[in-house]
Amino acid sequence: MENKERKVINKRDTIIMVLIIIFALACAFIPKLADDGGYAVIKCGDVVAARLELNKDGDYTFPEFEGMVFTVADGAISVTKSNCGDHTCMRTGSISRSGEVIVCVPNKAAITIESKEQSDLDVVLK
């Protein structure tokens, strides 16, 4: 009995440690996200202008982006109207995975995704 007490790490410790390690790894690799379909984060320059839930379909407008319409449908977001000259933002189409981005340089708008469906890409070349 005394012997057991002196052991630095006994069997129960090992089990607890393994469980904690698994929990720690899970915390590190599974992103902390809401239970629903994720969010579109719309930034104006470096300031977050809006966070839209991707499971709430609709057309959205914001005072920061005059003339722009953001459309959420089928768990994805797209820019469906813009007053910018080049319309690069509209041509990007819809995005739904983290790592993807829609950009409108003239309006300084950038849309990124916070989603359960993680993209495994470090960067998208365009």
Distances (CA, A) of 15 to 1, 18, 25, 33: 20, 5, 15, 28
Q: Which is nearer to another protein, 52 or 107 (CB)?
A: 107
What's the rounded Cα separation, in Å, for the pair 46 and 25?
31
State the CB neighbour count (10 A cutoff) for residue 48: 10
Minimum CB separation from another protein for residue 109, in Å? 9
Note the residues at the interface with another protein (CB under 8 A).
5, 9, 13, 16-17, 20-21, 23-25, 27-29, 43, 45-46, 84-86, 88, 91-95, 99, 101, 103, 105-106, 108, 110, 112, 119-126
Q: Which is nearer to another protein, 112 or 115 (CB)?
A: 112
State the CB neighbour count (10 A cutoff) for residue 113: 23
Minimum CB separation from another protein for residue 7, in Å? 10
What's the rounded Cα separation, in Å, for the pair 2 and 5?
5
